[in-house]
Structure 1
Amino acid sequence: MTDTTPLPASLPISEQTVLVTGGGRGVGTHLVRAFAQQGARVIINYRSSHAAATALAAELEVEHGAGRVIALEADVTDREAVDRIVADATAHFGTEITTVVSNALPAFSFNGDDRPKAADIGWDDVAAQFEGTVRGALNTVQAVLPGMRARGFGRVITVGTNLFQHPVVPYHDYTAAKAALLSLTRTLAHDLGPDGITVNMISGGLLRTTDASAATPDAVFEYIAAASPLRRVTTPREFADAALFFASEWSRAVTGQNLVVDGGLVNN
């Protein structure tokens, strides 16, 4: 007997309009490149990386066609600023944003020797991470939600970490905020599923190398490589590839999940 149950809504990546927050630097640039290479329209959101973001947009427009990539400034903790770039992007592309990669990261350096320790970390450190990570993601999702609901389709991808499963270095503020983001990812998935919107997280380990991991000693990278089944450290490009899966039609029945992309270091 043929199954006549209708499939959930899907849209090829080449027809998606993708907002990457924090797309002007670090792993964000790899996320932007991955979607542009698949033919998506891409918005590079940045806060302070104007020169890098605009240069990346110009480069990708040469490679993939004029009008396909735009760089827009906004602090994702400012809801009015996020609403503005969503409106500007919608006007620029003539279509709603279908896909969000919530990647923006508050200022942070993965330097275990210089991290705030349990006895002296201040709440301001923790609050800053929650503000940028959780509030930024919520602002972004809420800003694009009307357009996604109107289409009956949406893909939200949050960026987490494997540190709350395997705190090889106890970054208290960063890890707590990312754990809260996973909780938000799962509750949003439950709430938005009936609208045809999936919400998933990709969690990397330490990536070699991004702006945030530039201060990481080689010994830490060597330890992670030795402890991982693949015997190497995951690259930012490999991490970005996983985001393509969650945006693709192949994941249309997957939501509320956390995919750990770290070469097998953490098994959950």
Structure 2
Amino acid sequence: MQIAEQIVLVTGGARGLGTSIVHAFAAQGARVVINYRNSAAAAETLAASYGPEHAFAVRADVTDRAQVAAIFTQAQAHFGAPVTTVVNNALADFQFNGDARSGAADISWDEFEAQFSGSVRGALNTTQQALAGMREAGFGRIINIGTNLFQNPVVPYHDYTASKAALLSLTRTLASDLGPHNIAVNMVSGGLLRTTDASAATPEDVFDFIAASTPLRRVTTPDEFADAVLFFASPWARSVTGQNLVVDGGLVMN
């Protein structure tokens, strides 16, 4: 299915990386459901910029199964067809500032639970709610947003990194389970992006250090990362599933 034929849900689509992903899909003619939790004004403004034929905003906490079910009901009612593509981008409250994060000696299990709930429970909720429509369409694409930190743990984001590693495992088991239904499940993993709401707290010298460490000598932008998300939704990736594509300027090489 061409991207222009797809109905795409982007969780956490009203800010940061999510907004770049929304723009990337909308530029290719897709119809986009912009999910948000707190950023109502930004979500409505973003949706209005494309018009109701191409985008609409819906509030939901992706960790709440009933609220996620309502997203899919509203999306089908709005566009007259089921969601075909889900981008699990929503991030539980987190700031990328290593100096401010809990270390090994004092991190709490509650911090882990918050990240696991946002990353794994959220992705499971959206996947399960999407399945009926994807099977009806005979096509489905689930794209999870990961991190390069579980391959290159240079910053002790213990809770965030563990949750994304679990999400990669879920990506691969779902890919195996759903492949017979023509539903592909993949992950796109980045490093620090310049700049999102979450990375705004990162000191400038950290950005400079990362840029100097990459073969491209620069930090990946949200728009560059969003381009890679498009690949997994495109016909060019029709035989790709269960994969993790690292998009970080070559900092981590698989």
Bin the TM-score by the shorter chain.
over 0.9
Give how far 1:223 is off: 0.7
Out of 148, 153, 161, which is 1:167 matched to?
Answer: 153
What letter corresponds to residue 49 of structure 1 in structure 2?
S
C-alpha distance in 2 between matches for 1:81 and 1:215 = 30
| Distance in structure 1 (CA, Å) of the matches to 2:155 and 2:206 | 9
Once residues 108 and 256 of structure 1 are traced to their aligned partners in structure 2, the CA distance between those partners, rounded to angstroms, is 26
SS of aligned partner of 1:107: coil
Aligned residue type for 1:98: T
- The answer for unaligned runs of 5 or more in structure 1 is 1-10
- Equivalence for 2:188: 202
Alignment gaps of 5+ in structure 2: none
Give the Cα–Cα distance (whole angstroms) in 2 for the partners of residues 142 and 160 of structure 1.
Answer: 19
Name which of 27, 30, 34 aligns with 1:40. Answer: 30
Q: Is residue 227 from structure 1 mapped to residue 217 from structure 2 by the alignment?
A: no
Structure possessing the higher radius of gyration over alpha carbons:
1
Look up the match of 2:6.
16
3-state SS, counterpart of residue 86 of structure 2: strand
1:123-162 Cα shifts (integer Å, max 9, x gaps): 0000000001100000000001001011211000000000
Equivalent residue number for residue 58 of structure 1: 48
Trace 1:1-268 onto structure 2 (pairs within 5 A).
Answer: 11-61=1-51, 66-268=52-254
Matching residue's letter, 1:54: E
Amino acid at match of 1:110: F
Structure 2 CA distance for aligned equivalents of residues 94 and 170 of structure 1: 45
Amino acid at match of 2:27: Q
Cα shift readout 1:1-32 (whole Å, capped 9, x = no counterpart): xxxxxxxxxx0000000000000111000000
Seq. identity, %: 70
The C-alpha deviation readout for 1:38-87, integer Å capped at 9, x for no partner, is 000000000111011001111122xxxx4210000000001110101100
Whole-Å Cα distance in 1 between the matches of residues 243 and 82 of structure 2? Answer: 25
Instruction: Count how many residue pairs are aligned between Structure 1 and Structure 2.
Output: 254
Letter in 2 for 1:22: G
What's the counterpart of residue 6 of structure 1? Answer: none
- Give secondary structure in 1 for the equivalent of 2:117: helix
CA distance in 1, matches of 2:114, 2:59: 20
Shift of 1:170: 1.4
State the distance in 1 between where 2:208 and 2:70 align: 43
- The 2-side partners of 1:68 and 1:112 are apart by 39
Q: What TM-score results when the alignment is normalised by the length of structure 1?
A: 0.94
- Cα deviations by residue, 1:198-244 (Å, 9 ceiling, x for unpaired): 00000011000000000000111111000000000000000000011
Secondary structure of the 2:178 match is helix
Q: Distance in 2 between matches of 1:56 and 1:149?
A: 29
Residues in 2 aligned to 1:97 and 1:170: alpha-carbon distance in whole angstroms: 36
How far apart are 1:37 and its partner, in Å? 0.3
SS across alignment from 2:145: strand
Q: Which secondary structure does the structure 2 equivalent of 1:213 belong to?
A: helix
The alignment partner of 2:251 has SS state of coil
- Partner Cα separation in structure 1 for residue 154 and residue 48 of structure 2: 39
Measured against aligned partners, the alpha-carbon deviations of 1:162-205 in whole angstroms (never above 9, x if no partner) come to 00000111100000000000000000000000000000000011
Counterpart AA for 2:28 = Q
Counterparts of 1:102 and 1:206, CA distance in 2: 18
